[in-house]
Amino acid sequence: MLNEFKDFIAKGNVMDMAVGIIIGAAFTAIVTSLVDDLVNPLIGIFMGGIDFGGLEASVGDAVFTYGNFIMALINFLIIAWVVFLLVKMVNRVKDATTAEEEAAEEEPAGPTQEELLAEIRDALKARG
């Protein structure tokens, strides 16, 4: 049973998933900081510091803080836009790198030594 567990953990897809989750968590912290510390203050400057967080409605004893939902929705849209731009940038860099590699692979190879020698032989036969 211990060997089965070891085999399960050592499988590539389990390790890839673990790495993806760890990188995803670190990336989430970066994007959240970017939005909270850079993008939201810029939006606040242009919108005059409007904060929807305090909007609420009461019905009896129930309090509906719909302003928090509006802020969460706005933050989601901003984060989705930032992630879209980052993915687009990474794909552009990856595509450029792939295109360079393909161009390097597609360069025509020069004639081999045997082909050159055959050409020389044929040229000498034609002369003489």
- pLDDT category at 53 given cuts 50, 70, 90 is confident
The tokens describing 96, both together, are 């450029």
The angle, 0 to 180 degrees and rounded to 10, between the axes of the packed helices 66-106 and 40-47 is 120
Strand partners, 57: 64
What whole-number distance in Å separates Cα of residue 116 and Cα of residue 122? Answer: 10
| pLDDT recorded at residue 88 | 92
pLDDT tens-digit series, residues 3-27: 887 777 777 677 778 888 998 888 8
CA distance 88 to 96: 12
Structural domain spans, the chain: 1-49, 51-128
pLDDT in tens, 67-78: 888 888 888 888
For residue 112, the 8-state DSSP code is: P
Structure tokens at 18: 């673990």
Indicate the pLDDT class of residue 107, thresholds 50, 70 and 90.
low
